[in-house]
A and B are shown apart, each in its own frame.
Chain A
Amino acid sequence: ETGVTQSPTHLIKTRGQQVTLRCSSQSGHNTVSWYQQALGQGPQFIFQYYREEENGRGNFPPRFSGLQFPNYSSELNVNALELDDSALYLCACRREGPRETQYFGPGTRLLVL
Chain B
Amino acid sequence: SQQGEEDPQALSIQEGENATMNCSYKTSINNLQWYRQNSGRGLVHLILIRSNEREKHSGRLRVTLDTSKKSSSLLITASRAADTASYFCATTPSGNTGKLIFGQGTTLQVKP
Give A residues with C-beta under 8 Å from B: 2, 4, 6, 31, 33, 35, 37, 39-45, 48, 50, 55-56, 58-59, 88, 90, 92, 94, 97-107, 109
Chain B residues positioned under 8 Å from A48 (CB to CB): 97-99
CB distance from A94 to the nearest CB of B (A): 7
**Which positions 65-112 of chain B face chain A at CB distance < 8 Å?**
88, 90, 92, 96-105
Closest to A31 in B: B98
Asked whether A56 and B105 contact (CB < 8 A) given A88-B40, A90-B43, A104-B43, the answer is no
Closest 9 A-B residue pairs measured CB to CB? A42-B102, A106-B42, A104-B43, A98-B98, A104-B42, A42-B104, A45-B99, A43-B102, A107-B42
- Name the A residues within 8 Å of B48 (CB-CB): 99, 101
Beyond the given pairs A4-B42, A42-B2, A107-B42, 15 more chain A to chain B contacts, judged by CB atoms under 8 angstroms and listed by A's residue number, are: A41-B105, A42-B4, A42-B102, A42-B103, A43-B43, A56-B97, A58-B99, A98-B92, A98-B96, A99-B31, A101-B45, A102-B33, A102-B100, A104-B35, A104-B45
The answer to whether A101 touches B43 (Cβ under 8 A) is: no
Query: What chain A residues lie within 8 Å of B43 (beta carbons)?
Result: 43, 90, 92, 104
Q: Does B50 contact A (CB under 8 A)?
A: yes
If A42-B4, A42-B105, A98-B30 touch, whether A107 touches B41 (CB-CB below 8 Å) is: yes
Chain B nearest Cβ from A110, distance in angstroms: 12
15 contacts between A and B (CB under 8 A): A4-B42, A33-B100, A41-B2, A43-B90, A44-B102, A48-B98, A56-B96, A92-B43, A98-B30, A98-B97, A98-B98, A102-B45, A103-B45, A104-B35, A104-B44
Cβ distance B57 to chain A, nearest Cβ, rounded Å:
17
Q: Are B102 and A56 in contact (CB under 8 A)?
A: no
Residues in B lying within 8 Å of A, measured CB to CB: 1-2, 4, 30-31, 33, 35, 40-45, 48, 50, 88, 90, 92, 96-105
Q: Which residues in B have their C-beta under 8 angstroms from that of A45? A: 99-101
